Structure 1
Amino acid sequence: MTRDLDVGPVQRVVRRALTAFARALISAVNDSGGVQVVQIALSSTEVRDGTPRIAEFGFSSNPPAGSDGVVAFLGGDRTKGIVIGTGHQPSRPKGLKPGESILHSEDGKSVYLTADGGIVVEAKGQPVVVNDASDVTWNCSGKFKLIAPGGVEFDTPLVKSTGNMQDNFQSNPHTLADMRQISNEHDHLVKGVQIGSSDVTSDPPNQQQ
């Protein structure tokens, strides 16, 4: 093999430029330190351990084994590689329209910023948890709809509403405020009133909720 000392300076620069980047397969990841390091296979005979992987600030991921990687070699030195890009072909969402983006995991969970359908969160039947929020506010210009076949639980000392509340709305035309007013104003028809100390049981109220 010809060494760098056996060629001219131009040839050395060209050689280093040609070897400055390479495609690799990621075979293992160590995500325990301040810098994530990966094991990469540059070829069937060239495997490197402890290669640092640099990602954008605010975003972190653990690419599964078999992911593609783009490796940059500082100064063309194959012993000083840095992984600057990764992709996992089997789990990559396909068919995105221009301008769309998606954050996804290997098992299909995603946050999808669509071009014409808003934002879609796909949880794949798994829990969604928000921890340690001081306040949570949803500002909607339209209707907020909640579908929960398993029910809804509020573990809170108080539930407030600035507007009316209505249960069984498909068959009940009254709000809770309506029913409270009916309860406050309704009367009972008492039949067969007797004198003295007799006990009287009234009929049901005249006004029904």
Structure 2
Amino acid sequence: MQASTIKAQVQRALSGIRQAFRGVLTRVNSAGSVQTLQGEGLAGETFQDAELYQHYGFTSNPPAGTQVIALPLNGMTSHSVIIATEHGGYRIKGLVTGEVAIYTDEGAKIVLKRGRIIDVDCDIYRIKCKTYEVNASNNADFNTPMLTASEQVTAKSKITGQGGMAISGGSGATVDGGIKATQDIVAGKVSVQGHIHDGDSGGTTSEPKQ
């Protein structure tokens, strides 16, 4: 049998087997252990309950309109699995070589950038853990108008209130080790440096000596 004849027979056999194809998903069911998709192929065919396979440790629920690559098992469209997804409308563009990003259609994102920089952009950043450690060799800057702790804040060195400090509520402030102030301290309306007392024999005492 000539090689051309064999090639023609192989091509005829392959033409009857559905190859991997592109499509657009219309609906996702994420309730099961493996997500299933519905959508349409670019050639007009439809796929129902196609399983979406993703890498271990990473999962997403792609929105409608996401492009997919479907692989028909045994060449049958009705038994397709989804091996890749992409949505050009939401993908973060302009990454340089080596950068990695996680993102959503709402614009929340985590970008691992060149220079060992990690950028996070979101509305609420929520962490649930037993212990949260930050080991910053230089600085840990919080650029926020308010920093709140539900229980206790402990500083093992100095606390500097460059814009002033205010303590309210609870039982006040307890200080072990004394307080050193470079300016006057006022308790209520009483000045530590400028207060006077009634004298033992009438009159008043002088202000405290510096």
Normalising TM by the smaller chain, what interval? 0.7 to 0.9
Q: Within 2, Cα distance between the matches of 1:50 and 1:192?
A: 87
Query: Quick one: distance in 2 between partners of 1:191 and 1:67?
Result: 78
2:169 maps to which residue?
A: none
Distance 1:16 1:202, change over 3 A: farther
User: Shift of residue 20 of structure 1?
Assistant: 2.5
1:138 corresponds in structure 2 to 134
Are positions 1:129 and 2:123 aligned together? no
Give how far 1:78 is off: 1.9
Q: Are the counterparts in 2 of residues 103 and 112 from structure 1 also a CA contact under 8 Å? A: yes
Residue identity opposite 1:129 in structure 2: R
CA RMSD of aligned residues (A): 3.2
Aligned to 2:189: none
1:182 to 1:148, Cα distance in 2 relative to 1, 3 A: closer
- Counterpart of 1:66, as a letter, is G
Superposition misfits of 4+ residues, deviation over 3 angstroms = 176-179, 186-195, 198-203
For residues 90 and 54 of structure 2, the distance between their equivalents in structure 1, rounded to whole angstroms, comes to 19
Gaps of 5+ in 1: 1-7, 171-175
Report matched runs for 1:6-45 at 5 Å: 10-11=10-11, 13-15=13-15, 19-43=18-42, 45=44
Going from structure 1 to structure 2, the CA distance change for 1:129 and 1:189 (only over 3 Å counts) comes to closer
Is the 8 Å Cα contact of residues 100 and 114 (structure 1) preserved in structure 2?
Answer: yes
More helix by share: 1
Do the aligned partners of 1:26 and 1:41 also contact (CA within 8 Å) in 2?
yes
- For the Cα contact (< 8 Å) 2:25–2:66, is it kept in 1? yes
Structure 2: give runs of 5+ residues left out of the alignment: 1-7, 165-174, 186-191
Contact 1:190 1:201 in 2 (8 A): no
Distance 2:59 2:118 in 1: 21
Deviations 1:83-107 (A, max 9, x none): 0100111011111100001000011
Is the alpha carbon distance of 1:72 and 1:165 closer, same or farther for their aligned partners in structure 2, counting shifts above 3 Å?
A: same
| Pairs within 5 Å for 1:51-130 | 51-116=50-115, 118-123=117-122, 126-130=123-127
* Seq. identity, %: 23
Alpha-carbon separation, structure 1, partners of 2:39 and 2:9: 30
Residue in structure 2 matched with residue 163 of structure 1 by the alignment: 157
Q: Which residue of 1 aligns with 2:149?
A: 154
- 1:152/1:201 CA distance change after superposition, 3 Å: farther
In 2 relative to 1, CA 59–118 (structure 1 residues): closer, same or farther, beyond 3 Å?
Answer: same
Deviation at 1:121, TM superposition (A): 0.2
The equivalent residue for 2:49 is 50
